[in-house]
Amino acid sequence: MTVQDAASAPDTGAVRTYLLGLQDRIVETLERLDGKRFLSDDWQRPAEGALRGDGRTRVLDDGDFFERGGVNFSHVVGDRLPPSASASRPELAGRGFEALGVSLVLHPRNPFCPTVHFNVRMLLATAPGVAPVFWFGGGMDLTPYYPFEEDCRHFHQACKDALDPFGADLYPRFKTWCDEYFYLKHRQEPRGIGGIFFDDFTGQGFDDAFGVMQSVGDAFLDAYVPIVERRRGMPFGEPERDFQAHRRGRYVEFNLVFDRGTHFGLQSGGRTESILMSMPPVVKWHYDWKPAPGSPEAKLYTDFLIRREWV
């Protein structure tokens, strides 16, 4: 781990200001799409014990379009890095930390509109007498039920466009990372059609890495909103809703079993309601269910839940 020079020293204040503005912009756009307002739940953890901080939870339940949506900001300070954060950096185990980020999950009611996950975050590891160590993480990924080629290509193109100014190697690298990360090993299948994912990222220093995070954050609405606008009027019935609920079960399995963000939040004593707001409100698990050959449901598995290049 290289120590960043003073000109590129980590600035959590600047990151916080950006993240709060990003949360506001996203919520305002989603409220226009849905027609209903998000519930606002600002919270603060007292400056006592091993964890302290504050956050802004924005949740929409039973909206006109979104069955469940959450856009959360949190900024917490702790005395000891949780195991999920130091697993790949054992030399940092035992350090204090500061973590802040925006995390979003949207579950539309219409099965022809995909679920989407997005987050951007920064973590700072601290210890007396040594320089702080920072890294950024985040990304976005799409989980369709009845997918369309043009939507998947659009989503990946928006991800690529966000990263290309910082190096042509970033999109293929982060795309592969996403494919490998959002994979249900016990099911031997991807969660969705991917996107980009990155973690432990320091770039060429704080300014460069922060720039990557901001570009990814700024790209989210352009990546997702056009897909919603194309598909939201498509008619659907109970068979499509049933398949959507079945596939949502895979989403829950990943979040609880594999997701580092969920593990970090729970291990650090974070706010459970905010951590688990990503769960869909209606989910089903069908025993040993398989789609009929040649059906639209089968096409999801044969044509989309596979490793492939989209752009």
Instruction: Report how far residue 55's alpha carbon sits from residue 114's, in angstroms, rounded to the nearest whole number.
Output: 27
239-278 per-position pLDDT tens digit? 999 999 999 999 889 888 887 767 776 776 667 776 777 7
pLDDT of res. 5: 43
pLDDT of res. 85: 65
Annotated domain spans of the chain: 12-304
pLDDT of res. 273: 74
Sequence ranges of the binding site for substrate: 103, 119-121, 269-271
Handedness of CA 247, 248, 250, 254 (dihedral sign): positive
Catalytic residue numbers read: 117
31-55 per-position pLDDT tens digit? 999 999 999 999 988 766 667 899 9
Residues 6+ apart with CB under 8 A from 53: 44, 45, 74, 75, 76, 77
- Per the structure block, which two tokens stand in for 246? 């079945």
> What is the DSSP annotation of 71-106?
EEEEEEEESS--HHHHTT-GGGTT-EEEEEEEEEEE
Enumerate residue ranges in the chain where pLDDT < 50.
1-7
For 12-304, CATH number out of 3.40.1500.10, 3.40.50.410, 3.40.1410.10, 3.40.50.300 equals: 3.40.1500.10
